[in-house]
Amino acid sequence: MEALANEITDWLGWSPFWSQITVAVLILVAAVVVFLVALVFAGLLTWAERRVSGRAQSRVGPNRVGPLGLLQWVADGVKLLLKEDLIPTDADRPLFRLAPYAVMIGVFAAFATIPFGQLLIAADLNVGLIYLLAITSLAVIGVLMSGWASNNKWSLLGGIRAAAQIVSYEIPVALSVLVIVLLAGSLSMQEIIARQGGWPWEWYIFHNPFTLIAFFTYFIAAVAEGNRIPFDLPEAESELVAGYNTEYSGIRFAGFFLGEFANIYLMSAIATTVFFGGWQVPMITAAEQAASWSWQILGLVIFLAKAWVGSFVVLWMRWTLPRMRVDRMMGLCYRYLIPISFACLFAVAVYKLVIPDGSLIDLLIHLGTTGIGGLLFLIFWWRVFHHVRSVGDKFSVFQVLQRGDKFEFDPEWQVRRYGAHRKVREKRAKEAR
Protein backbone atom coordinates (compact mmCIF):
# COMPACT_ATOMS: atom_id res chain seq x y z
CA MET A 1 0.00 0.00 0.00
CA GLU A 2 2.78 2.43 0.91
CA ALA A 3 4.61 1.86 -2.38
CA LEU A 4 1.42 2.46 -4.37
CA ALA A 5 0.62 5.54 -2.31
CA ASN A 6 4.11 6.96 -2.90
CA GLU A 7 3.77 6.43 -6.65
CA ILE A 8 0.40 8.21 -6.65
CA THR A 9 1.65 11.18 -4.61
CA ASP A 10 4.83 11.49 -6.73
CA TRP A 11 2.76 11.44 -9.91
CA LEU A 12 0.42 14.11 -8.54
CA GLY A 13 3.26 16.13 -6.99
CA TRP A 14 1.79 16.06 -3.48
CA SER A 15 3.74 16.52 -0.23
CA PRO A 16 4.75 13.54 1.99
CA PHE A 17 1.86 14.41 4.35
CA TRP A 18 -0.64 13.44 1.67
CA SER A 19 1.16 10.16 1.16
CA GLN A 20 -0.07 8.95 4.57
CA ILE A 21 -3.59 10.14 3.77
CA THR A 22 -3.41 8.23 0.50
CA VAL A 23 -2.34 5.06 2.35
CA ALA A 24 -5.36 5.37 4.66
CA VAL A 25 -7.70 5.87 1.71
CA LEU A 26 -6.25 2.87 -0.15
CA ILE A 27 -6.65 0.68 2.94
CA LEU A 28 -10.26 1.80 3.26
CA VAL A 29 -10.93 1.08 -0.42
CA ALA A 30 -9.33 -2.38 -0.11
CA ALA A 31 -11.47 -3.13 2.95
CA VAL A 32 -14.65 -2.14 1.10
CA VAL A 33 -13.69 -4.26 -1.92
CA VAL A 34 -12.93 -7.30 0.28
CA PHE A 35 -16.24 -6.88 2.11
CA LEU A 36 -18.20 -6.64 -1.14
CA VAL A 37 -16.46 -9.70 -2.61
CA ALA A 38 -17.19 -11.73 0.53
CA LEU A 39 -20.78 -10.45 0.57
CA VAL A 40 -21.35 -11.53 -3.04
CA PHE A 41 -19.89 -14.97 -2.38
CA ALA A 42 -22.08 -15.39 0.70
CA GLY A 43 -25.16 -14.29 -1.24
CA LEU A 44 -24.47 -16.63 -4.15
CA LEU A 45 -23.99 -19.50 -1.72
CA THR A 46 -27.46 -18.90 -0.29
CA TRP A 47 -28.78 -19.27 -3.85
CA ALA A 48 -26.65 -22.37 -4.46
CA GLU A 49 -27.82 -23.92 -1.18
CA ARG A 50 -31.46 -23.67 -2.22
CA ARG A 51 -30.78 -24.93 -5.73
CA VAL A 52 -28.88 -27.95 -4.36
CA SER A 53 -31.60 -28.61 -1.77
CA GLY A 54 -34.22 -28.34 -4.50
CA ARG A 55 -32.40 -30.92 -6.60
CA ALA A 56 -32.03 -33.22 -3.58
CA GLN A 57 -35.77 -32.95 -2.86
CA SER A 58 -36.94 -33.22 -6.50
CA ARG A 59 -38.04 -29.60 -6.80
CA VAL A 60 -36.71 -26.59 -8.67
CA GLY A 61 -35.78 -23.96 -6.09
CA PRO A 62 -35.57 -20.19 -6.65
CA ASN A 63 -35.68 -19.46 -10.38
CA ARG A 64 -37.67 -16.26 -10.92
CA VAL A 65 -35.64 -13.28 -9.69
CA GLY A 66 -32.96 -12.72 -12.31
CA PRO A 67 -31.53 -15.31 -14.72
CA LEU A 68 -31.84 -18.77 -13.13
CA GLY A 69 -32.87 -17.01 -9.91
CA LEU A 70 -29.34 -15.66 -9.35
CA LEU A 71 -30.65 -12.39 -7.89
CA GLN A 72 -32.84 -14.10 -5.31
CA TRP A 73 -30.29 -13.33 -2.59
CA VAL A 74 -30.48 -9.62 -3.49
CA ALA A 75 -34.27 -9.71 -3.12
CA ASP A 76 -33.90 -11.47 0.22
CA GLY A 77 -31.43 -8.83 1.37
CA VAL A 78 -33.82 -6.03 0.45
CA LYS A 79 -36.62 -7.84 2.28
CA LEU A 80 -34.51 -8.19 5.44
CA LEU A 81 -33.49 -4.54 5.25
CA LEU A 82 -37.14 -3.50 5.17
CA LYS A 83 -38.28 -5.82 7.95
CA GLU A 84 -38.76 -4.39 11.43
CA ASP A 85 -35.70 -4.67 13.68
CA LEU A 86 -37.08 -5.93 16.98
CA ILE A 87 -35.16 -6.02 20.25
CA PRO A 88 -36.61 -7.90 23.26
CA THR A 89 -37.74 -5.67 26.11
CA ASP A 90 -35.41 -7.15 28.73
CA ALA A 91 -32.43 -7.70 26.41
CA ASP A 92 -29.03 -6.12 26.93
CA ARG A 93 -29.52 -3.66 24.08
CA PRO A 94 -25.86 -2.58 23.43
CA LEU A 95 -24.56 -6.18 23.37
CA PHE A 96 -27.61 -7.34 21.41
CA ARG A 97 -26.87 -4.79 18.69
CA LEU A 98 -23.12 -5.47 18.65
CA ALA A 99 -23.19 -9.30 18.44
CA PRO A 100 -23.95 -9.69 14.68
CA TYR A 101 -21.14 -7.30 13.79
CA ALA A 102 -18.63 -9.33 15.82
CA VAL A 103 -19.62 -12.46 13.89
CA MET A 104 -19.42 -10.68 10.53
CA ILE A 105 -16.03 -9.11 11.32
CA GLY A 106 -14.66 -12.49 12.39
CA VAL A 107 -15.58 -14.03 9.03
CA PHE A 108 -15.42 -11.21 6.49
CA ALA A 109 -12.09 -9.79 7.73
CA ALA A 110 -10.47 -13.17 7.06
CA PHE A 111 -10.98 -12.65 3.31
CA ALA A 112 -8.25 -9.99 3.37
CA THR A 113 -5.53 -12.67 3.36
CA ILE A 114 -7.16 -15.07 0.87
CA PRO A 115 -4.94 -15.21 -2.28
CA PHE A 116 -7.45 -15.35 -5.15
CA GLY A 117 -4.55 -14.98 -7.56
CA GLN A 118 -0.84 -14.39 -7.62
CA LEU A 119 -1.42 -10.63 -7.50
CA LEU A 120 -5.03 -10.67 -6.21
CA ILE A 121 -4.66 -10.48 -2.45
CA ALA A 122 -5.58 -7.60 -0.18
CA ALA A 123 -2.89 -8.25 2.45
CA ASP A 124 -0.08 -10.77 1.94
CA LEU A 125 0.93 -11.13 5.58
CA ASN A 126 3.97 -13.18 6.55
CA VAL A 127 1.79 -14.60 9.35
CA GLY A 128 -1.31 -15.03 7.21
CA LEU A 129 -2.42 -18.35 8.69
CA ILE A 130 -1.99 -17.08 12.25
CA TYR A 131 -4.11 -14.06 11.32
CA LEU A 132 -6.82 -16.31 9.89
CA LEU A 133 -6.96 -18.51 12.98
CA ALA A 134 -7.04 -15.44 15.23
CA ILE A 135 -9.57 -13.28 13.41
CA THR A 136 -12.09 -16.10 12.91
CA SER A 137 -12.13 -16.61 16.68
CA LEU A 138 -14.06 -13.34 16.96
CA ALA A 139 -17.14 -15.27 15.86
CA VAL A 140 -17.12 -17.07 19.21
CA ILE A 141 -17.42 -13.74 21.03
CA GLY A 142 -20.34 -12.68 18.83
CA VAL A 143 -22.15 -16.00 19.31
CA LEU A 144 -21.81 -15.88 23.11
CA MET A 145 -22.72 -12.20 23.14
CA SER A 146 -25.93 -12.79 21.18
CA GLY A 147 -27.02 -15.70 23.38
CA TRP A 148 -26.39 -13.79 26.61
CA ALA A 149 -27.81 -10.43 25.46
CA SER A 150 -31.08 -11.97 24.21
CA ASN A 151 -32.16 -12.75 27.81
CA ASN A 152 -33.61 -16.03 26.54
CA LYS A 153 -32.55 -19.31 28.10
CA TRP A 154 -32.84 -21.14 24.79
CA SER A 155 -30.67 -18.56 23.04
CA LEU A 156 -28.16 -18.78 25.88
CA LEU A 157 -28.02 -22.58 25.63
CA GLY A 158 -27.58 -22.34 21.87
CA GLY A 159 -24.79 -19.78 22.30
CA ILE A 160 -22.98 -21.93 24.86
CA ARG A 161 -23.23 -25.01 22.64
CA ALA A 162 -22.01 -23.08 19.62
CA ALA A 163 -19.09 -21.53 21.53
CA ALA A 164 -18.01 -24.89 22.94
CA GLN A 165 -18.22 -26.44 19.49
CA ILE A 166 -16.28 -23.67 17.74
CA VAL A 167 -13.52 -23.50 20.36
CA SER A 168 -13.13 -27.29 20.43
CA TYR A 169 -12.92 -27.76 16.68
CA GLU A 170 -10.50 -24.88 16.23
CA ILE A 171 -7.84 -27.20 17.71
CA PRO A 172 -7.87 -29.90 14.97
CA VAL A 173 -8.22 -27.18 12.32
CA ALA A 174 -5.08 -25.44 13.57
CA LEU A 175 -3.15 -28.70 13.94
CA SER A 176 -4.09 -29.87 10.43
CA VAL A 177 -2.98 -26.55 8.94
CA LEU A 178 0.21 -26.71 11.00
CA VAL A 179 1.12 -29.93 9.18
CA ILE A 180 1.34 -27.95 5.93
CA VAL A 181 3.19 -25.08 7.63
CA LEU A 182 5.80 -27.63 8.66
CA LEU A 183 6.23 -28.69 5.04
CA ALA A 184 6.19 -25.19 3.52
CA GLY A 185 8.30 -23.54 6.21
CA SER A 186 6.16 -20.41 6.04
CA LEU A 187 2.93 -18.94 7.41
CA SER A 188 2.36 -16.76 4.34
CA MET A 189 -0.58 -17.89 2.21
CA GLN A 190 1.16 -16.87 -1.02
CA GLU A 191 4.36 -18.63 -0.02
CA ILE A 192 2.50 -21.86 0.72
CA ILE A 193 0.93 -21.77 -2.76
CA ALA A 194 4.27 -20.90 -4.41
CA ARG A 195 5.89 -24.00 -2.89
CA GLN A 196 3.30 -26.23 -4.55
CA GLY A 197 2.65 -26.80 -8.25
CA GLY A 198 -0.13 -27.00 -10.79
CA TRP A 199 -0.33 -30.80 -11.09
CA PRO A 200 -2.17 -32.84 -8.43
CA TRP A 201 0.94 -34.74 -7.33
CA GLU A 202 2.55 -31.38 -6.61
CA TRP A 203 -0.22 -30.34 -4.20
CA TYR A 204 0.36 -30.67 -0.48
CA ILE A 205 -2.69 -32.91 -0.05
CA PHE A 206 -0.82 -35.63 -1.98
CA HIS A 207 2.63 -34.91 -0.56
CA ASN A 208 2.46 -38.05 1.58
CA PRO A 209 -0.28 -40.20 3.17
CA PHE A 210 -0.22 -38.14 6.38
CA THR A 211 -1.08 -34.89 4.58
CA LEU A 212 -4.00 -36.71 2.89
CA ILE A 213 -5.28 -37.69 6.33
CA ALA A 214 -4.65 -34.15 7.58
CA PHE A 215 -6.88 -32.77 4.83
CA PHE A 216 -9.83 -34.94 5.84
CA THR A 217 -9.23 -33.97 9.47
CA TYR A 218 -9.21 -30.29 8.50
CA PHE A 219 -12.34 -30.61 6.37
CA ILE A 220 -14.40 -32.37 9.05
CA ALA A 221 -13.23 -29.96 11.75
CA ALA A 222 -13.84 -26.88 9.56
CA VAL A 223 -17.40 -28.00 8.78
CA ALA A 224 -18.01 -28.53 12.50
CA GLU A 225 -16.45 -25.16 13.37
CA GLY A 226 -18.83 -23.50 10.91
CA ASN A 227 -21.88 -25.10 12.60
CA ARG A 228 -22.93 -26.90 9.44
CA ILE A 229 -24.84 -30.17 9.25
CA PRO A 230 -24.12 -32.78 10.54
CA PHE A 231 -22.69 -30.57 13.30
CA ASP A 232 -25.25 -27.74 13.59
CA LEU A 233 -26.14 -28.48 17.21
CA PRO A 234 -26.80 -24.81 18.14
CA GLU A 235 -30.09 -25.21 16.25
CA ALA A 236 -31.67 -27.80 18.53
CA GLU A 237 -34.79 -29.37 17.07
CA SER A 238 -35.84 -30.61 20.51
CA GLU A 239 -36.11 -27.00 21.65
CA LEU A 240 -37.85 -25.77 18.45
CA VAL A 241 -35.67 -22.65 18.34
CA ALA A 242 -32.94 -21.39 16.02
CA GLY A 243 -30.25 -21.23 18.71
CA TYR A 244 -28.26 -18.15 19.65
CA ASN A 245 -29.98 -15.98 17.00
CA THR A 246 -33.55 -16.86 17.98
CA GLU A 247 -34.47 -13.31 19.06
CA TYR A 248 -32.97 -11.59 16.02
CA SER A 249 -34.89 -10.25 13.03
CA GLY A 250 -34.32 -8.08 10.00
CA ILE A 251 -30.82 -7.08 9.01
CA ARG A 252 -29.27 -8.25 12.30
CA PHE A 253 -30.47 -11.77 11.57
CA ALA A 254 -29.01 -11.40 8.07
CA GLY A 255 -25.62 -10.66 9.69
CA PHE A 256 -25.52 -14.13 11.28
CA PHE A 257 -26.91 -15.69 8.11
CA LEU A 258 -24.31 -14.12 5.80
CA GLY A 259 -21.52 -14.89 8.25
CA GLU A 260 -22.39 -18.59 8.13
CA PHE A 261 -22.44 -18.74 4.33
CA ALA A 262 -19.31 -16.60 3.92
CA ASN A 263 -17.58 -19.06 6.24
CA ILE A 264 -18.43 -21.90 3.84
CA TYR A 265 -16.46 -20.26 1.06
CA LEU A 266 -13.73 -19.21 3.50
CA MET A 267 -13.07 -22.77 4.69
CA SER A 268 -13.01 -23.96 1.07
CA ALA A 269 -10.64 -21.15 0.05
CA ILE A 270 -8.26 -22.02 2.91
CA ALA A 271 -8.32 -25.68 1.85
CA THR A 272 -7.62 -24.63 -1.75
CA THR A 273 -4.67 -22.52 -0.61
CA VAL A 274 -3.15 -24.98 1.83
CA PHE A 275 -3.89 -28.36 0.24
CA PHE A 276 -4.84 -27.93 -3.44
CA GLY A 277 -2.21 -25.65 -4.97
CA GLY A 278 -4.27 -22.44 -4.98
CA TRP A 279 -3.87 -20.44 -8.20
CA GLN A 280 -1.05 -22.57 -9.66
CA VAL A 281 -1.43 -23.35 -13.37
CA PRO A 282 0.00 -26.67 -14.66
CA MET A 283 3.24 -26.39 -16.67
CA ILE A 284 3.47 -22.63 -15.93
CA THR A 285 6.04 -21.32 -13.47
CA ALA A 286 5.22 -18.61 -10.95
CA ALA A 287 7.50 -16.15 -12.81
CA GLU A 288 5.75 -16.81 -16.13
CA GLN A 289 2.37 -16.41 -14.50
CA ALA A 290 3.37 -13.10 -12.89
CA ALA A 291 4.46 -11.71 -16.28
CA SER A 292 1.16 -12.40 -18.08
CA TRP A 293 -2.33 -11.10 -17.32
CA SER A 294 -3.90 -14.00 -19.20
CA TRP A 295 -2.18 -16.50 -16.91
CA GLN A 296 -3.22 -14.37 -13.94
CA ILE A 297 -6.87 -14.57 -15.01
CA LEU A 298 -6.57 -18.33 -15.56
CA GLY A 299 -5.07 -18.68 -12.09
CA LEU A 300 -8.02 -16.75 -10.64
CA VAL A 301 -10.46 -19.03 -12.47
CA ILE A 302 -8.64 -22.14 -11.19
CA PHE A 303 -8.70 -20.87 -7.60
CA LEU A 304 -12.39 -19.97 -7.74
CA ALA A 305 -13.27 -23.32 -9.32
CA LYS A 306 -11.46 -25.30 -6.63
CA ALA A 307 -13.04 -23.28 -3.83
CA TRP A 308 -16.52 -23.54 -5.33
CA VAL A 309 -16.18 -27.32 -5.63
CA GLY A 310 -15.36 -27.46 -1.92
CA SER A 311 -18.33 -25.22 -1.14
CA PHE A 312 -20.61 -27.49 -3.18
CA VAL A 313 -19.48 -30.51 -1.15
CA VAL A 314 -20.31 -28.66 2.08
CA LEU A 315 -23.77 -27.81 0.74
CA TRP A 316 -24.22 -31.37 -0.48
CA MET A 317 -23.42 -32.75 2.97
CA ARG A 318 -26.21 -30.71 4.55
CA TRP A 319 -28.86 -32.41 2.45
CA THR A 320 -27.34 -35.88 2.79
CA LEU A 321 -26.31 -36.49 6.40
CA PRO A 322 -28.37 -36.39 9.62
CA ARG A 323 -27.36 -34.45 12.74
CA MET A 324 -25.00 -36.00 15.25
CA ARG A 325 -25.79 -36.19 18.94
CA VAL A 326 -24.00 -33.48 20.90
CA ASP A 327 -21.94 -35.84 23.07
CA ARG A 328 -20.82 -37.82 20.03
CA MET A 329 -19.91 -34.62 18.23
CA MET A 330 -17.63 -33.51 21.08
CA GLY A 331 -16.25 -37.02 21.39
CA LEU A 332 -15.37 -37.04 17.69
CA CYS A 333 -13.24 -33.95 18.28
CA TYR A 334 -11.38 -34.92 21.44
CA ARG A 335 -11.15 -38.70 20.99
CA TYR A 336 -10.35 -38.89 17.29
CA LEU A 337 -9.61 -35.68 15.38
CA ILE A 338 -7.17 -34.11 17.83
CA PRO A 339 -5.10 -37.32 18.32
CA ILE A 340 -5.09 -37.95 14.57
CA SER A 341 -3.93 -34.37 13.94
CA PHE A 342 -1.08 -34.72 16.43
CA ALA A 343 -0.09 -38.06 14.86
CA CYS A 344 -0.02 -36.49 11.38
CA LEU A 345 2.08 -33.59 12.68
CA PHE A 346 4.60 -35.93 14.26
CA ALA A 347 4.69 -38.23 11.21
CA VAL A 348 5.32 -35.33 8.80
CA ALA A 349 8.12 -34.05 11.04
CA VAL A 350 9.76 -37.48 10.87
CA TYR A 351 9.15 -37.57 7.10
CA LYS A 352 10.99 -34.26 6.69
CA LEU A 353 13.96 -35.59 8.65
CA VAL A 354 14.20 -38.98 6.95
CA ILE A 355 13.29 -38.36 3.29
CA PRO A 356 15.13 -35.59 1.37
CA ASP A 357 13.01 -33.15 -0.64
CA GLY A 358 13.09 -33.82 -4.38
CA SER A 359 14.59 -37.31 -4.07
CA LEU A 360 13.31 -40.27 -6.07
CA ILE A 361 11.60 -41.87 -3.09
CA ASP A 362 9.96 -38.52 -2.31
CA LEU A 363 8.56 -38.37 -5.86
CA LEU A 364 7.35 -41.96 -5.68
CA ILE A 365 5.52 -41.24 -2.43
CA HIS A 366 3.89 -38.21 -4.06
CA LEU A 367 2.72 -40.31 -7.00
CA GLY A 368 1.56 -43.18 -4.77
CA THR A 369 -0.45 -40.86 -2.54
CA THR A 370 -1.98 -39.24 -5.62
CA GLY A 371 -2.98 -42.70 -6.84
CA ILE A 372 -4.60 -43.51 -3.50
CA GLY A 373 -6.49 -40.23 -3.56
CA GLY A 374 -7.62 -40.80 -7.15
CA LEU A 375 -8.80 -44.31 -6.28
CA LEU A 376 -10.82 -43.02 -3.32
CA PHE A 377 -12.34 -40.37 -5.58
CA LEU A 378 -13.36 -42.95 -8.21
CA ILE A 379 -14.85 -45.26 -5.58
CA PHE A 380 -16.85 -42.38 -4.11
CA TRP A 381 -18.32 -41.33 -7.45
CA TRP A 382 -19.01 -44.94 -8.41
CA ARG A 383 -21.10 -45.29 -5.24
CA VAL A 384 -22.87 -41.99 -5.91
CA PHE A 385 -23.92 -42.98 -9.43
CA HIS A 386 -24.81 -46.48 -8.20
CA HIS A 387 -27.32 -45.00 -5.75
CA VAL A 388 -28.63 -42.58 -8.38
CA ARG A 389 -29.29 -45.46 -10.77
CA SER A 390 -30.77 -47.69 -8.05
CA VAL A 391 -33.55 -45.20 -7.30
CA GLY A 392 -34.28 -44.66 -10.99
CA ASP A 393 -33.30 -41.00 -10.99
CA LYS A 394 -31.94 -39.38 -14.14
CA PHE A 395 -29.13 -37.22 -12.91
CA SER A 396 -28.00 -34.21 -14.91
CA VAL A 397 -25.91 -31.27 -13.78
CA PHE A 398 -28.13 -28.99 -15.84
CA GLN A 399 -31.17 -30.04 -13.82
CA VAL A 400 -29.71 -28.09 -10.92
CA LEU A 401 -29.91 -24.96 -13.09
CA GLN A 402 -33.20 -25.63 -14.84
CA ARG A 403 -35.80 -22.90 -14.81
CA GLY A 404 -38.94 -25.00 -14.67
CA ASP A 405 -42.38 -24.32 -16.11
CA LYS A 406 -43.98 -20.93 -15.57
CA PHE A 407 -47.74 -20.43 -15.74
CA GLU A 408 -49.97 -17.38 -15.69
CA PHE A 409 -52.05 -16.91 -12.57
CA ASP A 410 -55.44 -18.54 -12.90
CA PRO A 411 -57.81 -17.82 -9.99
CA GLU A 412 -60.00 -20.74 -11.03
CA TRP A 413 -57.50 -23.22 -9.60
CA GLN A 414 -54.78 -21.09 -7.95
CA VAL A 415 -57.18 -19.75 -5.37
CA ARG A 416 -57.28 -19.14 -1.64
CA ARG A 417 -60.37 -19.66 0.43
CA TYR A 418 -60.28 -16.09 1.67
CA GLY A 419 -58.82 -12.82 0.44
CA ALA A 420 -58.42 -10.92 -2.82
CA HIS A 421 -58.25 -14.02 -5.02
CA ARG A 422 -61.73 -15.15 -3.88
CA LYS A 423 -63.09 -11.69 -4.68
CA VAL A 424 -61.59 -11.83 -8.18
CA ARG A 425 -63.21 -15.18 -8.82
CA GLU A 426 -66.59 -13.97 -7.57
CA LYS A 427 -66.34 -10.86 -9.74
CA ARG A 428 -65.61 -12.96 -12.83
CA ALA A 429 -68.52 -15.25 -12.01
CA LYS A 430 -70.89 -12.26 -11.78
CA GLU A 431 -69.66 -10.87 -15.08
CA ALA A 432 -70.17 -14.24 -16.74
CA ARG A 433 -73.82 -14.28 -15.53
User: Which CB contacts under 8 angstroms, 24+ apart, belong to 73-78?
Assistant: 73/43, 73/44, 73/46, 73/47, 74/43, 76/46, 77/43, 77/254
Model pLDDT, residue 215: 94
Half-sphere exposure at residue 357, Cβ-oriented, CA atoms within 13 angstroms: 10
Mean pLDDT of the chain: 82
Model pLDDT, residue 350: 93
Percent of the chain with pLDDT over 90: 20
Give yes or no for a contact between 211 and 151, defined as CB atoms under 8 angstroms apart.
Answer: no
Give yes or no for a contact between 30 and 1, defined as CB atoms under 8 angstroms apart.
Answer: yes
Across residues 13-29, what is the average pLDDT?
69
Query: E strand or H helix at 176, and its extent?
Result: helix 153-184
Mind spelling out the 3-state secondary structure of 257-268? HHHHHHHHHHHH
Model pLDDT, residue 204: 92
Question: Model-level pTM?
Answer: 0.85
The C-alpha torsion from 172 through 147 and 41 to 122, rounded to 10°, is -70
Give yes or no for a contact between 167 and 174, defined as CB atoms under 8 angstroms apart.
Answer: no
Instruction: Give CA–CA dist 217/213, Å, rounded.
Output: 6
Stronger pLDDT, 347 or 158, i.e. the higher one: 347
Burial of 74 from C-beta contacts in 10 A (0-12 / 13-18 / 19+): middle
**DSSP code at position 239:** G
For helices 153-184 and 250-275, angle between their N-to-C axes, nearest 10 degrees: 20
Q: Which amino acid is at 316?
A: W
Stronger pLDDT, 157 or 368, i.e. the higher one: 368
Across residues 198-216, what is the average pLDDT?
91
**DSSP code at position 68:** G
Residue 347 pLDDT > 90:
yes
